[in-house]
Protein backbone atom coordinates (compact mmCIF):
# COMPACT_ATOMS: atom_id res chain seq x y z
CA UNK A 1 0.00 0.00 0.00
CA UNK A 2 1.07 3.54 -0.64
CA UNK A 3 1.51 5.92 -3.50
CA UNK A 4 4.32 5.39 -5.98
CA UNK A 5 6.18 8.16 -7.78
CA UNK A 6 8.20 8.42 -10.97
CA UNK A 7 10.36 11.37 -12.02
CA UNK A 8 8.90 12.93 -15.15
CA UNK A 9 10.05 15.56 -17.60
CA UNK A 10 6.86 16.97 -19.11
CA UNK A 11 8.67 18.99 -21.80
CA UNK A 12 10.87 16.19 -23.14
CA UNK A 13 8.36 13.41 -22.35
CA UNK A 14 10.98 11.46 -20.44
CA UNK A 15 10.68 9.36 -17.30
CA UNK A 16 13.00 8.03 -14.63
CA UNK A 17 11.64 4.90 -13.00
CA UNK A 18 12.78 4.27 -9.41
CA UNK A 19 12.55 0.49 -9.81
CA UNK A 20 14.76 0.68 -12.94
CA UNK A 21 17.31 2.50 -10.73
CA UNK A 22 17.24 -0.43 -8.32
CA UNK A 23 15.29 1.65 -5.81
CA UNK A 24 11.74 1.89 -4.55
CA UNK A 25 9.01 4.36 -5.36
CA UNK A 26 7.25 5.97 -2.40
CA UNK A 27 7.96 9.67 -1.85
CA UNK A 28 9.78 8.98 1.41
CA UNK A 29 11.86 6.34 -0.38
CA UNK A 30 12.83 8.86 -3.06
CA UNK A 31 13.89 11.23 -0.27
CA UNK A 32 15.88 8.72 1.76
CA UNK A 33 16.94 6.20 -0.87
CA UNK A 34 20.20 5.77 -2.72
CA UNK A 35 18.50 6.80 -6.00
CA UNK A 36 17.14 10.19 -4.80
CA UNK A 37 20.37 12.15 -5.43
CA UNK A 38 20.17 11.46 -9.21
CA UNK A 39 18.42 14.84 -9.54
CA UNK A 40 21.85 16.35 -8.88
CA UNK A 41 22.93 15.24 -12.35
CA UNK A 42 19.62 15.78 -14.16
CA UNK A 43 19.28 19.39 -12.96
CA UNK A 44 22.91 20.50 -13.24
CA UNK A 45 23.13 23.77 -15.17
CA UNK A 46 26.46 25.28 -16.16
CA UNK A 47 28.38 25.68 -19.38
CA UNK A 48 31.70 25.40 -17.55
CA UNK A 49 33.33 22.95 -15.23
CA UNK A 50 35.15 22.95 -11.93
CA UNK A 51 36.59 20.66 -9.31
CA UNK A 52 34.00 18.16 -8.06
CA UNK A 53 31.88 18.61 -11.17
CA UNK A 54 30.64 15.87 -13.48
CA UNK A 55 32.64 17.39 -16.32
CA UNK A 56 35.80 17.81 -14.25
CA UNK A 57 38.56 17.38 -16.85
CA UNK A 58 40.99 16.15 -14.24
CA UNK A 59 40.46 12.64 -12.90
CA UNK A 60 40.29 12.60 -9.11
CA UNK A 61 43.30 10.27 -9.10
CA UNK A 62 45.36 13.11 -10.60
CA UNK A 63 44.12 15.54 -7.97
CA UNK A 64 45.55 13.38 -5.20
CA UNK A 65 48.83 14.49 -3.78
CA UNK A 66 50.97 11.57 -2.70
CA UNK A 67 53.85 12.54 -0.53
CA UNK A 68 56.64 10.08 -0.11
CA UNK A 69 58.07 10.43 3.41
CA UNK A 70 61.58 10.11 1.98
CA UNK A 71 61.25 13.20 -0.26
CA UNK A 72 62.62 16.48 0.97
CA UNK A 73 60.61 19.63 1.67
CA UNK A 74 61.47 21.22 -1.66
CA UNK A 75 60.15 18.24 -3.63
CA UNK A 76 57.04 18.10 -1.46
CA UNK A 77 56.36 21.82 -1.96
CA UNK A 78 56.82 21.37 -5.69
CA UNK A 79 54.32 18.47 -5.79
CA UNK A 80 51.72 20.45 -3.82
CA UNK A 81 52.20 23.54 -5.99
CA UNK A 82 51.88 21.44 -9.16
CA UNK A 83 48.60 19.91 -7.96
CA UNK A 84 47.21 23.35 -7.05
CA UNK A 85 48.22 24.81 -10.43
CA UNK A 86 46.60 21.87 -12.26
CA UNK A 87 43.34 22.37 -10.35
CA UNK A 88 43.26 26.14 -10.83
CA UNK A 89 43.93 25.80 -14.58
CA UNK A 90 40.93 23.48 -14.94
CA UNK A 91 38.42 25.76 -13.19
CA UNK A 92 35.75 27.41 -15.32
CA UNK A 93 36.76 25.71 -18.57
CA UNK A 94 33.99 25.40 -21.17
CA UNK A 95 32.29 22.04 -21.56
CA UNK A 96 32.18 20.34 -24.94
CA UNK A 97 28.58 19.16 -24.74
CA UNK A 98 27.21 16.72 -27.27
CA UNK A 99 23.61 17.35 -26.19
CA UNK A 100 23.08 13.64 -25.61
CA UNK A 101 24.24 13.35 -22.01
CA UNK A 102 21.61 13.00 -19.30
CA UNK A 103 23.77 15.30 -17.18
CA UNK A 104 21.97 18.65 -17.03
CA UNK A 105 19.36 17.30 -19.41
CA UNK A 106 16.40 18.39 -17.31
CA UNK A 107 17.70 21.78 -16.14
CA UNK A 108 15.07 24.45 -16.84
CA UNK A 109 12.37 22.00 -17.94
CA UNK A 110 8.99 21.32 -16.32
CA UNK A 111 9.82 18.39 -14.06
CA UNK A 112 7.66 16.61 -11.48
CA UNK A 113 7.59 13.55 -9.29
CA UNK A 114 4.29 12.14 -10.51
CA UNK A 115 2.24 9.92 -8.22
CA UNK A 116 0.06 7.06 -9.37
CA UNK A 117 -2.92 8.48 -7.42
CA UNK A 118 -2.68 11.91 -9.09
CA UNK A 119 -5.94 12.85 -10.80
CA UNK A 120 -4.03 13.96 -13.93
CA UNK A 121 -3.65 10.22 -14.73
CA UNK A 122 -0.27 11.18 -16.19
CA UNK A 123 1.04 7.99 -14.58
CA UNK A 124 -0.89 5.94 -17.13
CA UNK A 125 0.83 7.77 -20.01
CA UNK A 126 4.35 7.15 -18.72
CA UNK A 127 4.88 3.86 -20.62
CA UNK A 128 4.83 6.04 -23.77
CA UNK A 129 7.50 8.38 -22.39
CA UNK A 130 11.18 7.77 -23.08
CA UNK A 131 12.71 5.98 -20.09
CA UNK A 132 16.21 7.41 -19.47
CA UNK A 133 16.88 5.35 -16.34
CA UNK A 134 19.63 3.18 -17.86
CA UNK A 135 21.60 6.19 -19.17
CA UNK A 136 21.13 7.91 -15.84
CA UNK A 137 22.50 4.93 -13.89
CA UNK A 138 25.56 4.84 -16.17
CA UNK A 139 26.22 8.59 -15.79
CA UNK A 140 25.63 8.43 -12.04
CA UNK A 141 28.03 5.52 -11.55
CA UNK A 142 30.69 7.29 -13.65
CA UNK A 143 30.32 10.34 -11.43
CA UNK A 144 29.92 9.04 -7.90
CA UNK A 145 33.08 7.67 -6.42
CA UNK A 146 31.50 6.12 -3.34
CA UNK A 147 30.73 2.44 -3.89
CA UNK A 148 27.83 2.46 -1.42
CA UNK A 149 26.14 5.20 -3.48
CA UNK A 150 26.40 3.48 -6.86
CA UNK A 151 23.16 2.32 -8.47
CA UNK A 152 22.35 -0.96 -10.17
CA UNK A 153 20.17 -0.73 -13.26
CA UNK A 154 17.34 -3.27 -13.16
CA UNK A 155 16.84 -4.54 -16.74
CA UNK A 156 13.94 -6.72 -15.58
CA UNK A 157 11.78 -3.89 -14.28
CA UNK A 158 8.24 -4.54 -15.42
CA UNK A 159 7.90 -0.96 -16.73
CA UNK A 160 10.02 -1.90 -19.75
ZN1 LIG B 1 11.20 0.62 -14.38
* Cα-to-centroid distance, 20 and ligand 1 (Å): 4
Domain assignment present for residue 26? The answer is yes
Which residues are CB-neighbours of 23 under 8 A, at least 6 positions away? Answer: 29, 30, 33, 34, 35, 36, 151
Residue 39 belongs to domain spanning: 5-47+100-149
Q: Is residue 140 part of a domain?
A: yes
DSSP states of 42-58: HT---SB--TTSTT-SS
Report how far ligand 1's centroid is from the alpha carbon of 16 (Å): 8
Same domain for 141 and 111: yes
- Would residue 159 count as lying in a domain? no
CA 15 to centroid of ligand 1, rounded, Å: 9
**Whether 145 and 104 share a structural domain:** yes
155: in domain:
no
Report residues near ion ligand 1: CB below 5 Å: 17, 19-20, 157, 159
Say if residue 66 is in the same domain as residue 139. no
Q: Which residues of the chain have pLDDT under 70?
A: 60
In a domain, 111, yes or no: yes
CA distance 94 to 153: 31
Judge if 11 and 85 occupy the same domain.
Answer: no
What pLDDT is recorded for position 1? 82
Beta carbons within 8 Å of 98's beta carbon, 6+ residues apart: none
Residues 41 and 115 in one domain: yes
Residue 80 lies in a domain: yes
Burial of 31 (0-12, 13-18, 19+ CB in 10 A): exposed
User: Which DSSP state fits 94?
Assistant: B
**Co-location of 16 and 81 in the same domain:** no
pLDDT at 65: 75
Distance in Å, CA 147 to ligand 1 centroid: 22
Is-contact 42 105, C-beta < 8 A? yes
74 and 142 in one domain? no
Ligand 1: centre distance to CA 158 (Å): 6
pLDDT tens sequence across 59-92 = 767 777 777 788 888 888 888 888 888 878 878 8
| 37: in domain | yes
- pTM to 2 decimals? 0.85
53, part of any domain: no
Q: pLDDT of 143-153, one tens digit each?
A: 998 999 999 99
Strand partners, 111: 9
Secondary-structure percent of the chain, ordered helix, strand, coil, rounded to 5: 35, 10, 55
Give me the number of domains the chain comprises. 2
Region for residue 52 given its phi and psi (left: phi exceeds 0; alpha: psi -120 to 50; beta: otherwise):
left
Amino acid sequence: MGQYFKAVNLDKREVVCPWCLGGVAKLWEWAAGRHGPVFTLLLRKSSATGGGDYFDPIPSSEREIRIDPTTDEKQTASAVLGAIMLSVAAEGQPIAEDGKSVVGRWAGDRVALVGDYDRSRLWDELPRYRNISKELVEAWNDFIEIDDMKLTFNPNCNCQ
